[in-house]
Amino acid sequence: MKRLFTTLAVLFVGTITMATAQQANERPIYLDPDAPIEERVEDALSRMTLREKIAIIHAQSKFSAPGVPRLGISEIWCTDGPHGIRPEVMWDEWDQARWTNDSCIAYPALTCLAATWNRDCALSYGRSIGEEARFRDKDVLLGPGVNIYRTPLCGRNFEYMGEDPYLASEMVVPYVKGVQEQGVAACVKHYALNNEEQHRHTVDVSLSDRALREIYLPAFKAAVTEGGAWSLMGSYNKYRGTYACHNHRLLVEILKQEWGFDGAVISDWGGVHSTEEAIHNGLDMEFGTWTDGLREGASNAYDNYYMALPYLKLIESGEVGTEELDDKVRRVLRLTFRTAMNNDKPYGAMCSEAHSLAARQIAEEGIVLLKNHNNNLPIAPDAKRILVVGENAIKMMTVGGGSSSLKVKYECSPLDGIRNYYGDDVEVLYARGYVGDVTGDYNGVVTGQNLVDKRSPKRLIAEAVEMAREADHVIFIGGLNKSNNQDCEGTDRRNLGLPYNQDAVIEALAEVSDNLTVVFVSGNAVAMPWIDEVESVVQVWYLGSEAGNAIANVLSGEVNPSGKLPFTFGAKLEDYMAHADGAKFPNPKKVFYHDGIFVGYRSFEKREIEPLFAFGHGLSYTTFEYSNLQLSATEAVAGNRIDETILEATVTITNRGDRAGKEVVQLYISDVESSVIRPKKELKGFEKVELQPGESKTITFSLTPEALAFYNENSSSWTVENGEYRVLIGASSADIRLDKSFTLR
């Protein structure tokens, strides 16, 4: 309704404006949807007053900016994502507005999307969530997130795309394109170095330029230069002493000047701290500062934002000019014409069958089979009694966790999904096993679940064990949830272990069941001290509305698992270089990334630590054979372009099992003769291929100089050195099947 009134007002004012313009023999280009956007921007800018320019670069409500009513320029409305469209909230409160028509489809968390290693899934994800945002009349989707998985303790890892910059880059581009096909701007976040939550408002991050360029920036760069992102969100933390939301090096030098970003930089809510720095250091739109307006004693909180009246006063006093302001306004207008005033955008759709199907397919492709001793999975077709144990089998996971919390049309729990799949053919029993977080509300969205259980841990375990003795197959469904100090915005995990006495439950079940499957709902790695005692382990992430159906399809064998880990599972916390040698985490003040470029599998291989499960690992119910690796040349020349193909690598993959399945073929590059320290190998290509039993396919990878480059801090540029390189083809970073060498001349 709010947009309806605004639209009517815009049409009315726009009509007056056009009539006035025609009287002056002047065409209002900015209202012409067929005119080039840059002409519309300049025309609108030339007609705006100083106060109107100031108004559109800051919020007017919790999630909107005002536009220019006098000129018929629309408001901009943002919505939280990146896993679904957030319910409507009050004008200036986080609590929901209690609408009855703002439920959504919850898509799997972005860790699951990354685990699909499937660019088509990323495109489908972006299109689906973009359609829901468009239907709800949103102009900016606040997502996706691409911060690097540096430590398994970061509470917000579940919203990101893993530890590897190449994988994150490849997955973010189709997501962004899919969203923006719907006339909705993707707002890629959190730029940059948001790798802890507890002290995100105060921590000051420093690191080498090489680590910044090779590890932490590539996914953002890809979103801008390849995905064409229309907006980007600054992060809360500082970088080298200056807050990221107005950091000149990040926003001006790198983002806008070097990468050519022409969109709008949006602050995270409460991420702005200085008018002067916001003016000069690249911020374009300010949201969420002093949002209640009470403590400041101001009649209008939004007028007192750093980029509101304080900015206006500096201009009127002559202390600053309007050059920076005009650049900000151009970017906001460009965003407006691409979204809110784009007459060619689709209508969108909400909670459609197609969206449910997309959510389920992404969830199924992202589920990772970590261990499967003696082919414990899929569940035997002659099983007559299945026992499901664990709170995460019944607890709603779409509510909570921070800004990605949702109000969903429905959420199929793992227990319901398993029961729905087997129907009356198999008896599916349930035992609680442990009690974790019994709450179920966030910002006024209430699950309605009553999870209170006052039985002691001893009684809960005893019940589960007794029932397990009589079951043909036992499925423990646990892991983390979206409570504080687990997978949750604003807090970080305290350790790598499982909460709520889950280890004891798993160990007790393992003693009485020879067919025990452990299923983890989480967005982070967890320690597994009992790993040798259980038959199978499955990582299922936060899967959204279709969680239970996707889990049931994979456990039963209806769907062959094909997910691969987007980050490394270490056996203990100290295995991660970010936590080695007593490194402090989280850091309230200053932190130097001493691990540099050695994040994730790069670190494990450098320190020769065997991971619990390697980056890229994931099993199948069938087997794949790798053969016939061929390089198009044994010698190559880099040439003058970083993206020019210098040689091709081909490999044949054959399904040797009796089930159809999908395999992720991974290509890594090793620099044998580098003049600088480099990782033993780095992911530089992957393809997901589907094969029928006995079928073979040949995969071709094109190698460019970019795949061989490192960031040279001496020259502040990317360098490709001559010498020997190895092409490594594998099923994970630790499972290399084939390799060949070539020489760059």
SS3 for 268-313, per residue? Answer: CCCCCCCHHHHHHCCCCEECCCCCCCCCCCCCCHHHHCCCCHHHHH
Please indicate, yes or no, whether residues 561 and 639 belong to a single structural domain of this protein: no
How confident is the model at residue 25, as a pLDDT?
45
Average pLDDT across the chain, whole number: 95
> Residues 558, 640: one domain?
no
Structural domain span for residue 513: 353-566
Place of tokens 């409500």: 61
Q: Is the peptide bond before 378 cis (omega within 30 degrees of 0)?
A: yes
Q: 364 and 499: one domain?
A: yes
Q: Residue 8's pLDDT is what?
A: 46
Q: Which of 548, 566, 584 delimits the end of a domain?
A: 566
Spatial separation of the C-alpha atoms in residues 271 and 716, rounded to whole Å: 29
Cα separation of the two ends of the chain: 65
537/626 same-domain check: no
- What pLDDT is stored for residue 6 in this prediction? 47
pTM of the complete model? 0.96
| Domain-located, residue 120 | no
> Is pLDDT of 48 > 90?
yes
Measured CA to CA, the distance from residue 10 to residue 18 in angstroms comes to 12
> Per the domain annotation, does 508 fall within a domain?
yes
pLDDT grade for 118, boundaries at 50, 70 and 90: very high
196-213 pLDDT, tens digit each: 999 999 999 999 999 999
At 294 the pLDDT is 52
Q: Which of 43, 139, 268, 487 is catalytic?
A: 268
Mean pLDDT, residues 148-176 taken together: 98
The pLDDT of residue 369 is: 99
| Residue 479 near residue 526, CB atoms below 8 Å | yes
* 561 and 626 fall within a common domain: no
For residue 20, the model assigns a pLDDT of 47
Say yes or no: 661 and 525 in one domain: no
Higher pLDDT, 94 or 508: 508
Residue 589 belongs to a domain: no
Number of domains the chain is built from = 2
In-domain check, residue 358: yes
Mean pLDDT (whole number) for 698-723: 97
Q: Is the pLDDT of residue 91 over 80?
A: yes
Question: Do 362 and 499 sit in the same domain of this protein?
Answer: yes
Boundary residue ending a domain (545, 566, 587): 566
What distances in angstroms separate CA 528 from CA 207, 317, 660, one per listed residue? 32, 63, 30
Share of the chain above pLDDT 70, in %: 95
Q: Which CATH number covers residue 491?
A: 3.40.50.1700
Name the domain boundary from 547, 566, 585: 566
**Angle value at C-alpha 725, between 719 and 727, nearest 5 degrees:** 120
Q: Annotated catalytic, 92?
A: no
Residue 83 counted as domain residue: no
Residue 23's pLDDT band (cuts 50, 70, 90): very low
Question: Exposed, middle or buried by CB within 10 Å (0-12, 13-18, 19+), for 474?
Answer: buried
User: pLDDT tens, 409-456?
Assistant: 999 999 999 999 999 999 999 999 999 999 999 999 999 999 999 999
β-bridge pairing 441-442 and 445-446: antiparallel
Instruction: Say if 259 falls within a structural domain.
Output: no
CATH number at residue 717: 2.60.40.10
Q: Residues 336-361: what's their mean pLDDT?
A: 97
Mark whether 626 and 562 lie in a shared domain: no
